[in-house]
Amino acid sequence: MKNGLNRRKFIQMSGVGIGGVMLNVPIFGNNVSASQLLSPINIALKKKMSDIALNTATSKGASYVDVRIGRYLNQYIFTREEKVRNVTNTESFGAGVRVIVDGTWGFSATNDFTENGIKQAAEQAVAIAKANSKIQTEKVVLAPNVPHGTTSWKTPLKKKAMEVPISEKVELLLAANAAAMDNGASYINNSLFQVNEQKYFASSEGSYIDQDVHRIWPTFTVTCIDKESGKFKTRDALSSPMGMGYEYMDGNDSDKIAGPVEGLIFYNKSYDIVEDAKNAAIQAKQMTTADSVEPGKYSLVMEPHHLGLTIHESVGHPLELDRVLGYEANYAGTSFATIDKWKAGNFEYGSKIVNLVADKTQTHTLGAVGFDDEGVKCKKWDLVRDGVLVNYQAIRDQVKMLDQDESHGCCYADSWDSIQFQRMPNVSLEPGKEKYSVDDMISDVEKGIYVVGRGSYSIDQQRYNFQFGGITFFEILEGKITRMINDVAYQSNTQEFWNSCSKICDENDYRFFGSFFDGKGQPGQVSAVSHGSSTTRFDNINVINTARKI
């Protein structure tokens, strides 16, 4: 094995969750310990290498330079019923150099973390920018950014997930599987995703920023088969990926929120995977005999784990400025929320109670960092205020198109060898201002459906016309939940849907949904983003029956 690791030391490292990680010898040398594998690279070394890149690119004619040194650790564990299917550990390490020369971007990256390797990457970035400048029609203009000097930021956590032995994680996943099987599940598969991004940013403007970012996502799918009818139903986990450590798996009772139906429990900043798997099996079994929905117009009561996906697709994506401007047209589409609508200052994106915000500072969210990948300090800003479209998501070389002079701080790259570009921040619906519970909301509904969890969906290239499903559905009649129903999907368009929003529960019901692998760009990149909301009501929405007719 590389780096002089013998079998015994390799097994010891695997015990703390880093089996299979390989590092370049110049960083740590041959005697690699588990603590070194789990700890970020020495800051003095990162600054030294960054300065080499900054000085090299500047001497070659760059008017602006930034360097990102990144080390990305991932651990994925997969199980099914009583078996472990796979344990995967990956590590990626290197540096990316981005420059502006003659008003044109250039970028190069390397995993040769030596003085010569970093210097060559900087020289190549400059050469690429000079070549690109020959066909550049409009010079890059960056919004001002205050230099931050030497600073750092870390995800607030209590337990680093990768320091927890794999055996302990596997035991927990298998216990969840057993709970599901003991309560009627025919099958269950689950997984645990853990990510650590160790990121260092330096720029010619005077910022040296070290960040240690952690994310975690436990999830599963339970399947129940009705042997008499041959029908089967599935229920996915009601967990949300979070910007936390392994403490998310503690399952604290104080972080649980009881739903309006017995056995329906939601989780906020602590998740009980065993309890959720048990309840999932019971509910999936009930779903196999539940009646099919009658199509028609309904008031829909949407809990946050469901509404988060709708926010993601109908608000988060269409308000990305590069999509609005057509830069994503070839891959992921454009947007109905065009600049002229924003400039008018009165475009009614939603009803007057709808306030949608972008916020990369919310603690424990997937998008939470101190600084984005352009070294901009992260913040919160309005997208829709009192129902009216007021802003987009934009980065340093975009905000001038909005006649703004400050980046929104939402630039991101998924690796050291990927160029950073505009990515969705956390986009959330603010809770209602008045005291109002889920029970209050249900009691106000004459004919409706309570929608739980993320399901399948479809939305057009302009993020306008759409159809969404869920995991579990409950009929509401005359202010009471009467029964479980199946085969529900709703159809609408973004503006009509958000203008039908009539009531939002207060902050006591506020919690997060998350997207762990949100794709964008060509070549494609992924990012992780959270969406917060409280249970929300939408009136007069068209519901269809999705059952296959034979």
pLDDT digits (tens, 9 = 90+) for 476-526: 999 999 999 999 999 999 999 999 999 999 999 999 999 999 999 999 999
Q: How many CB atoms are closer than 10 A to CB 398?
A: 26
User: How far apart, in Å, are the Cα atoms of 229 and each of 232, 336, 472?
Assistant: 9, 44, 20
The residue written with tokens 């057009």 in the block is 460
Residue 541 phi, psi dihedral angles, 5° rounding: -100, 140
List, in sequence order, every beta strand (DSSP E) within 254-354.
Answer: 256-258, 265-267, 291-292, 296-302
User: How far apart, in Å, are the Cα atoms of 208 and each of 46, 367, 521?
Assistant: 9, 21, 27
Computed from CA positions of residues 509, 538, 237, 17, in that sequence, does the dihedral angle turn out positive or negative? negative
Q: 342-359: per-residue pLDDT in tens?
A: 999 999 999 999 999 999
Cβ neighbourhood burial of 301 (10 Å; 0-12, 13-18, 19+): buried
Instruction: Please give the model's pTM, rounded to 2 decimal places.
Output: 0.92
User: Which residues does the chain have with pLDDT short of 50?
Assistant: 1-34
Ranges of each domain in the chain: 2-162+202-213, 296-545
Q: How many CA atoms lie within 13 A of 539 on its CB side?
A: 13
DSSP label of 191: E
CATH classification of 2-162+202-213, choosing from 3.20.20, 3.30.2290, 1.10.3470, 3.40.50?
3.30.2290
Q: Which amino acid, residue 378?
A: C
d(CA 81, CA 62): 57
pLDDT reported for residue 37: 63
d(CA 7, CA 30): 14
d(CA 133, CA 102): 6
pLDDT reported for residue 39: 76
Residue 454 phi, psi dihedral angles, 5° rounding: -80, 130
3-state secondary structure of 385: strand
d(CA 364, CA 203): 27
The residue written with tokens 């229920």 in the block is 235
pLDDT reported for residue 23: 35
DSSP state string for 332-360: T---SS-HHHHHHS--BSS-TT--EEEES
User: How far apart, in Å, are the Cα atoms of 431 and each of 446, 506, 531?
Assistant: 23, 5, 12
